[in-house]
């Protein structure tokens, strides 16, 4: 039996921050970007929706990872993040 994207574990921002050993505000800054001292910063983690759309369209996680030059773990994280945002 194969594991689908929907079978992957998902985390809230607070849980992900704890697992990454960073503050929730730091993780949120990485995900959403923001303004610091009058300068606007883009999110560090970008294009998660593009990865999610690829997987949602039926492309395998491994194939998406190769196409984007990232690890399958990062693709699963992006899919989990986008799924949580949509919920």
Average pLDDT over residues 1-22: 71
Are 55 and 39 found together in one domain? no
pLDDT tens by residue, 28-77: 887 778 887 888 777 766 677 778 888 888 989 999 888 877 788 888 88
pLDDT at 49: 77
Are 81 and 65 found together in one domain? yes
What pTM value is reported for the model?
A: 0.48
Are 32 and 60 found together in one domain? no
- Does any domain span residue 14? yes
Residue 86 is part of which domain span? 47-87
- The CA distance from 10 to 62, in Å, is 18
Are 40 and 55 found together in one domain? no
Are 33 and 55 found together in one domain? no
- Does any domain span residue 52? yes
Are 57 and 41 found together in one domain? no
When mean pLDDT is compared over 4-8, 12-16, 38-42, the highest value belongs to 12-16
């Amino acid at each position: 039996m194969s594991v689908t994207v929907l079978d992957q574990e998902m985390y809230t921002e607070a849980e992900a921050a704890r697992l990454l050993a960073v503050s929730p505000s730091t993780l949120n800054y990485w995900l959403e970007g923001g303004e610091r001292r009058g300068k606007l910063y883009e999110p560090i983690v970008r294009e998660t929706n593009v990865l999610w759309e690829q997987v949602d369209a039926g492309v395998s996680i491994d194939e998406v990872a190769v196409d984007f030059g990232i690890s399958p773990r990062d693709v699963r994280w992006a899919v989990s993040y986008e799924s949580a945002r949509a919920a």
